[in-house]
Amino acid sequence: MIKPLTIAVDFDGTIVEHKFPAIGNELPFATHTLKTLQEKGHRLILWTYRCGQQLDDAVNFCKERGLEFYAINKNYPEEKMNDQISRKILADLYIDDRNIGGMPSWTEIYQLIHPEAAPKDQPSGSKWKWWK
């Protein structure tokens, strides 16, 4: 069993299709996978460029699907942000569509975090086999 992780998750292009400033359609299995990771004890932080009403819209989009985050653009809910503190979030993992290699599917993301749930007959040419 993997120890609980703090996972920073982007919104646009990661949970939903990238249509900023609008909210795109949800990517297949995004909120389902994130809720499953929470059920496994992982702490999720929404880490997004959005602010103000656009951030509220993203948070509400997730809440409507039963997904609530430990913190939003902060390391912990009580953190006070100011100009002297970087917006860098301290996390064990970052899920973002802008990573090297692009955005894997949410199924692949889950299997990377919980390899015990991965099918035993993983194709030999799998893009993410190196992770194991």
**Boundaries of every domain in the chain:** 6-131
Residue 117: predicted pLDDT = 74
Q: By mean pLDDT, which of 48-52, 80-84, 122-126 is the weakest? A: 122-126
Closest residue by Cα to residue 93 from 112, 68, 67: 112
Please answer whether residues 113 and 39 qualify as being in contact, where contact means their C-beta atoms are separated by less than 8 angstroms.
no
Compute φ and ψ for 53, nearest 5 degrees: -60, -35
Give the model's confidence band at 83: pLDDT under 50 very low, under 70 low, under 90 confident, else very high: low
The whole-model pTM stands at 0.83
pLDDT band at 86 (very low <50, low <70, confident <90, very high): low
Percentage of the chain exceeding pLDDT 70:
84
CATH topology classification for 6-131: Rossmann fold (3.40.50)
